[in-house]
Chains A and B, each alone.
Chain A
Amino acid sequence: MRFLSAFCAALLLSVVTARAADIDPALVDAAKKEGEVTWYSTLIVNQILRPMVDAFNAKYPGIKVNYSRSTNSDVALKIVNEARARRGQADVFDGTNSIYPLLDAGLVADYRPKAAAGYPADLKDANGMWTAMNAFFLTTCYNTNLVKADEAPKTYDDLLDPKWKGKIAWVNDPTPQGPPGFIHNILVTMGEDKGMAYLKKFAAQEPVFIPASQRVVLDKVIAGEYPLAVMTMNHHAAISAKQGAPVAWIKMQPLSESINLIGIVKQAPHPNAARLLTEFVLSDEGQKVLADNDYVPVSPSVPAKIAELKPDAGHFTANIVTPDMARDDLPKWTALYHELFR
């Protein structure tokens, strides 16, 4: 088994090096001339942003990557404010939903990365405004010390068991990665009527808000403060379980899939470097950096470090929330969230 995975990795590496050659040398030259690129990210610096930048710099030493990390809303706010003041700094941005205000404001450049040519259609925009760079699969997890595997809920209906009342934690994140995504998933899966009925029953279970991130919610489950949490990320649970934490994730189908998008700012000060960076992130080489750092890559040709975290290898289904869906319906989901759960 170990040998096999090593073999796969070696194989992959050769593929990657082959692919890398595809990059247009003219783009590389133009990018090198610009010399730097600025990335407004929502990704965790130590965990993935810096490794990704380091990998990029190893490949293109002449191009300095400036990066700053903040929340989705701050990334959007900064780019919008900079554009209004005509003092644009950002070239590249990412985020699960930072893009909507930018699309509304017409601040996103269209670019169809070559590296994403093989990606499924729902992972890239038809107009070239964005491409998915990594995915989050949101599901239910539980503390294995507090809940035996056979007692753990298997389906959404199991969550309505009275014994879980007040014991289910979730994140207080008004994005598709939080309650609005849960609401969307239920409504899509069960249909409007049954879905609404389910949500009302779920609200009666009084799930507890944790005002932080999905990771913090998971930590509270690990610490035993809550036996169960919904809308947590499966890779977080898998990583912690590997380190010995008493936690497991449930394939409560369909999972909710949320994608982190990368895009280029219109009137970016360094458009070529921005394209080069985007190409790199989406290339198998860049995707491999994600996988190595325990994130879930979207490229079909790059498996996750723990393979079963992805639907194909893990044999589960997931409802994806595309930016278009979120843009149209997020206000509705958010309103429902406030109405039912606040």
Chain B
Amino acid sequence: MLRVSGLTKIYANRYDSQTGGVRDMSFDLPPGTFFTLLGPSGCGKTTTLRCIAGLERPDTGSIAVGDTVLFDGAHGIAVPMHRRGIGMVFQSYAIWPHMTVFENIAFPLRVAKDRRYGRQEIATMVDEALGTVGLSGYGERPATRLSGGQQQRVALARALVHRPQLLLLDEPLSNLDASLREDMRAELRRLQQQIGITTIYVTHDQSEALAMSDLIAVMDRGRVVQLDEPQAIYCRPATEFVAAFIGAANLLSGICPAAVQPGNIGQFQLTGGDLIPCLFPTGGVAGAAITAAVRPESIEIAPDGAATTAAAGGLHGTIRAASFLGSNIRYDIQTGDRELRVTVSATSMLPPGTTVRLIFPPNALVSVGT
């Protein structure tokens, strides 16, 4: 549906030495995909979105929706933004304060060049869009008399009203308060699935990305570092950056004692000498120094000295701090010269100073690239 290849847009920032933009970005989305660009600020996710929308002109590369080429640097094709037929929701919502809700939403229909919409048709389509976002009956309100959440819905209705093939969402939830954000997150996803519209979503919030997406591209410094399904991103981070950015992963360094085929589970030898089972998504070379990531909730703990199967391996540790987080408990556990973060479901809390045994299930540890 949406095919982006070799997209590059670099700008030299005059105010600090960093250069922003995106480099050699490529992806191909099947129709109906909810695709998220995830990364810290300045990673190029918004630039990518703006290039697709036509708000920025890429330096090189190409962008196509279906059979329509929107941009092709090599052939000098650049469809102006107002002819791309894309719906977009901006971070600030960009609701025009001088129009009513109805006029805001009707705008894309009124300015459409490819066909003329009649009065009645516009009224029907706007009402439908209002209904879709749950704002039926708000049409005649001035846009200035809306809450943040309502403005967001109006922005969404405006983006959808002319039934675009592609919907772009630029951090649409970042200006909402937490509870509203949770609701909107679910509703956005529901809407997207209901309409079946291909959607690109830009966010720096990994939980949003994981909860909503079909596909996630994690970006760092202008490049995509991993493009995968949410589960894969979470469980098998390709790099330390991804591992660190998606949830607070523990990173362990060590070596790969014996060669492992890609996708197989092998052994990971900690610098201290302990062996832990580890998944090698890209395989392992004997003797290579590697880094492995383990999620806090993947580690199990057992009271020290309790009977454990030797195969499960494990490390001795001492609890340094324990914090009660409601649904679970977080421990900071000292083992050797490193400290690991472990979360377990909240049953009974072990006090600091308790010595425990850390148990790593076979899939818990994943080797990551650097």
- Is A in direct contact with B (CB under 8 Å) within the complex? no
Interface residues of B (CB under 8 A from A): none
A interface vs B, CB < 8 Å?
none
